[in-house]
Structure 1
Amino acid sequence: MTSATPLDPELLAILVCPVTRTPLRYDREADELISEAAGLAYPIRDGVPVMLVEEARKLGASR
């Protein structure tokens, strides 16, 4: 489940979690942006991060 386009490092540098406003970690294997502070994983679809809380997966939940 890898995206066709790798995530732009410059984009990752400016994105923050919409809940906590903390930096995100890119999980290449899961193709998600991880917010450790919020306990959420935001999906990346077609190379575009989906930064909506209602689309995020709770960490520890099944993919």
Structure 2
Amino acid sequence: MNFDKKLLEILACPVAKGKLEYDAEKNELISQAVNLAYPILEGIPVLIEDEARVITLAEKE
């Protein structure tokens, strides 16, 4: 599944208020600023801090 690039341009991390990156392999939106990965379920990004998973240091490398 490919994520709409125009939507990605207007979305922001609810915690850091910064840009998000799309990870196609894991189907997530990544906030590098706070090391959170937000899931995309059935094509809808779930931008809720409690639903995000923490990106580990090993994943960042």
- Common fold by TM > 0.5: yes
- Which structure 2 residue ranges, 5 or more long, are not aligned? none
Which residue pairs with 1:21 in the alignment?
A: 17
Does 1 or 2 have the higher relative contact order (CA < 8 Å, sep 6+)? 1
Paired residues, number: 57
Measured in 2, the distance between the counterparts of 1:37 and 1:9 equals 20
- Which structure 1 residue ranges, 5 or more long, are not aligned? none
Residue 24 of structure 1 aligns with an amino acid whose one-letter code is: L
Which structure has greater helix proportion? 2
Measured in 2, the distance between the counterparts of 1:54 and 1:7 equals 22
TM-score by length of 2: 0.87
Which residue pairs with 2:50 in the alignment?
A: 54
TM-score by length of 1: 0.85
Measured in 1, the distance between the counterparts of 2:47 and 2:38 equals 6
Spell out structure 1 runs of 4+ moving beyond 4 A.
none
